[in-house]
Amino acid sequence: MMSLDALLGHWCCLDQHFSFITVCVRVSTIIIKPSQLAIICLSLAEYVAEAFTYECPPSSDILKVIGITTVGELELETRKAYSRKETHKSCFQ
């Protein structure tokens, strides 16, 4: 039979590892993924706006509008994809 100290030490070790994993997942979800999406959408906005304003640099307002529109469209498509996935999942069960 394990002693209480050994048992508590084991649980403390597991708690430390799982809390670290939980923190990494939360940081990834809350900070890294939205930042990646913003960088991609703003880069796309710059390329799109550059095609229409080749003689002068595009204003930051135009870049923001195109970036926000891109984020909205991506969110809409993601929700549609998840709803289709749920529909197919329910059909095969």
**Of residues 10 and 51, more confidently modeled:** 51
Q: Directed axis angle between helix 60-92 and helix 33-52, to 10°?
A: 120
Count of domains observed in the chain: 1
Range of the domain at 54: 4-92
**Of residues 76 and 91, more confidently modeled:** 76
| AA identity, residue 32 | I
CB distance 42 to 63 below 8 Å: yes
Give the pLDDT confidence of 33-70 residue by residue, as tens digits.
Answer: 888 888 999 999 999 998 888 788 889 999 999 999 99
pLDDT classification of 83: cutoffs 50, 70, 90: confident
